Homo-oligomer: A and B are copies of this chain.
Amino acid sequence: MRDTRRARATIVDIAARAGVSKSTVSLVLRNSPLARQQTAERVRDAMRELGYVYNRGAANLRRARSNVVGVVVSDIVNPFFAELAVGLENAFLAAGYLPILVNTGEDRERQARVIQALREQAVAGLVVSAADRTEAAAIKSLAASGLPVTLAMRDLPGSGLPYVGQDNLEGARVATRHLLSLGHARIAFLAGSSSIATHRERVDGYRRALAEVGVAFDPSLVIEAPPMRESGEQVVARALALPAPPRAALCFNDLTAIAAMSALQRRGLRPGADFAIVGFDDIEEGAHVDPPLTTVSMQTDDLARTAARVLVELIEGGAPPAAPIYGVARLVVRGSCGAAAARR
């Protein structure tokens, strides 16, 4: 088996075969007009015949640059981050960079290890959607070493690093206002953990909307739980067990919103009719449940493209954006969404 393995052809082999020097081959490789048309043709034939594959690592070493960027994602199994990753990947590929996607699974230690591995691989830059509880200092020191870093979706307040992400505060505010406009006053905030900045920002927006209409904030209505489908049962149980149970909730994301809907249904409560639910993070799940879920949409694709662009500019010597870049939070109203629930 091993015997079939040929050593890779190099530009020297190509040069020999085409009867030119290796400088000429290099010129042809980079489509320089300095090589004669006919010579270029001969060189390209030789490459084809020898099955030549460009060694980008060698080229990068010599040129002291790199065409690879790192994309560090906190939880690739979450379709929200998977879509972010895909968007980033597309944008980088289109810009001529090869993205290395690594998943940290919300594990800070693992995050540190993979980032180190990426640095050793001499990546040109990093976009990171930081793991839960990541300390700003950890990433900041990275950037201090001169490596271009852009934060996506998870801000690290105080790090001073360029950030591209959702407008969590505004999104939660819009969603909460929607529920308030339906006539709800006791509105729960279900699932998610305050250890994640995203959660804190959303709770802030929720509080702000309440404050704007003079509704007192009740901390017992903010019920934390891991943002997974499995948490639906638990958060609904706790919400309904409150002395004055809410009839409306803003959920940390769409997965937990759907899980909460199921938990309500298991109790004979009809989402929409008996209990209003709004979810975050539109990964187009909201439209496919019954009844449809009203969500705050975050345009992952746009944000991914933007984050990639910001990093590429940083890599190519541009200035970082002066302020965080926020995606527009858009409320997608689906179904009746609980006007009736408020009247009960």
A interface, size bucket = 35 or more
Q: How far is the CA of A289 from the CA of B122 in the complex (A)?
A: 45
- Taking the closest CB of chain B, its distance from the CB of A47, in whole angstroms, is 13
In the complex, the answer to whether B102 meets A101 with C-beta atoms within 8 Å is: yes
Q: How far is the CA of A4 from the CA of B77 in the complex (A)?
A: 36
Q: How far is the CA of A114 from the CA of B93 in the complex (A)?
A: 9
In the complex, the answer to whether A120 meets B89 with C-beta atoms within 8 Å is: no
Q: This chain: how many copies in the complex?
A: 2
- Taking the closest CB of chain B, its distance from the CB of A334, in whole angstroms, is 14
A141 and chain B: residue at smallest CB distance: B51
Contacts A56-B122, A77-B79, A77-B82 known; list 10 others, CB within 8 Å: A1-B320, A61-B61, A77-B83, A85-B103, A89-B103, A98-B117, A101-B102, A229-B285, A230-B288, A259-B288
Pairs across A and B, CB under 8 Å, 15 listed: A4-B146, A6-B146, A56-B122, A57-B57, A57-B61, A57-B121, A76-B76, A93-B113, A93-B117, A98-B117, A98-B118, A101-B103, A229-B285, A230-B288, A265-B290
Partner-B contacts on A (CB < 8 A): 1-2, 4-6, 51, 53-58, 60-61, 68, 76-77, 79, 82-83, 85-86, 89, 93, 98-103, 105, 113-114, 117-122, 144-146, 229-230, 232, 259, 262, 265-266, 285, 288-290, 317, 319-320
